[in-house]
Structure 1
């Protein structure tokens, strides 16, 4: 697609493709591609051209505004999903199955896990018996924050019921050494599912049910990065949680 903004700026200033090429230190064929094919030059070249034309570089090449403002994708980001409903249940199952050291789950309810994979408890028991530490924190159905979330998501008392259902699902796991279960009444900004150095984070959006909110799959590749930020968040909630007795 032709760059009509650039073409108009050149015509207004009496610039030929050869003259602009000389001013920016490129081949005239490059300028031709900028104009007729809509190619975007390198930033430093675009800045020289915009200065010569006395135009704003982002007016001539709007795509450079996006490049300039966009942060490099984190090395820890494995995948980004528009909503949790797009995440295959197999992702959670495979990550948990591959864990050797720890599994951490921080949710209000997340009963979708048991619904999608009825053998979840068996899997967690197998991992614990292999030496994997398992910590699960579910929402306290009687907490104000859980009730507030239900109102915000227009879930009514449904979310409180789901918290109780989640507790019912996980309680039998207390018979297995290495598995701990707690309830928490914190504001849940993100649901966290950790398996060793992999983590699935379900961000929460006001007024949107968790299944409709975005998810990112992180893998720990550095100290004090995104992964550690969420890991530290889990630890803080865990410390504030109340142990569930068997």
Structure 2
């Protein structure tokens, strides 16, 4: 089956088989097969081609996203990704958009969400206006645990600045009915992104930035499973977090 998305992107950008092939260092016949036969290139080549075309690699070759998912050992495990960078921001946005009852976010900063999707605050307002309870917990820039994470990841004071930036992004939501913003100083073992019965868990690895660490996608299938374990950990952190007030 032809890859019509790739054909359209190339046409819009004025790319030919030959010019794209030269740019990504492959044979023009390979590019022709990508388009006309729907062949999927190797991941490294696909990433290079997508960057050249200014397009999301998973939008051009969805099979690459599926290839990164592990077989589900637990009935709650939907997918396992080698690193957060493998997941397009649209996957986070789509999950939050589908939420009807609960949205919980536990991070130190995760400013990539606002940077890649500037409408995030509007989306959260829309969800809250329709009855969704939203809880956002970001890192306290003054916390020793935040500072330690910066040292471990060789990020220095940058992580403290990113915590402050995250809070700046969320400040316009303070006071919005249905939305609660807090700061926490816990040791963050995992970043959590929950939307109703779906959960993205970004594990943290010593010395590795969050975007390079694994993510598992869980879907709650019953009481007492992995989903509930992480949901309960969110509640435990939330109970110790400090509500953020309007600046006077």
Aligned residue pairs total 176
Partner of 2:161: 161
Partner of 1:73: 73
Partner of 1:147: 147
Partner of 2:179: 179
State how far apart, in whole Å, the 2-side matches of 1:115 and 1:73 are.
34
The alignment partner of 1:127 has SS state of: helix
Alignment partner of 1:122 is 2:122: yes
Alignment partner of 1:227 is 2:217: no
Q: Deviations over 1:117-165 (max 9, x none)?
A: 1100000000000000000000000000000000000000000000000
Partner of 1:214: 214
Any unmatched runs of 5+ in structure 1?
Answer: 1-70
State how far apart, in whole Å, the 2-side matches of 1:197 and 1:72 are.
17
Per the TM alignment, residue 231 of structure 1 is displaced from its structure 2 partner at its CA by 0.2
So what's the TM-score if we normalise by structure 1? Answer: 0.71
State how far apart, in whole Å, the 1-side matches of 2:123 and 2:72 are.
37
Conservation of the 8 A alpha-carbon contact between 2:72 and 2:79 = no
State how far apart, in whole Å, the 2-side matches of 1:160 and 1:112 are.
15
State how far apart, in whole Å, the 2-side matches of 1:239 and 1:211 are.
27
The alignment partner of 2:79 has SS state of: strand
Any unmatched runs of 5+ in structure 2?
Answer: 1-70
Per the TM alignment, residue 171 of structure 1 is displaced from its structure 2 partner at its CA by 0.9
Q: Deviations over 1:160-218 (max 9, x none)?
A: 00000000000110131000000000000000000000000000000000000000000
Alignment partner of 1:241 is 2:232: no
Per the TM alignment, residue 72 of structure 1 is displaced from its structure 2 partner at its CA by 7.2
Q: Deviations over 1:68-118 (max 9, x none)?
A: xxx970000011100000011111101110000010000000000001111
The alignment partner of 1:109 has SS state of: coil
So what's the TM-score if we normalise by structure 2? Answer: 0.70
Partner of 2:30: none
The alignment partner of 1:175 has SS state of: coil
Within 5 A, what are the aligned runs for 1:27-106?
A: 73-106=73-106
Alignment partner of 1:108 is 2:116: no
Conservation of the 8 A alpha-carbon contact between 2:183 and 2:243 = yes
Q: Deviations over 1:22-75 (max 9, x none)?
A: xxxxxxxxxxxxxxxxxxxxxxxxxxxxxxxxxxxxxxxxxxxxxxxxx97000
| Cα-Cα RMSD | 1.1
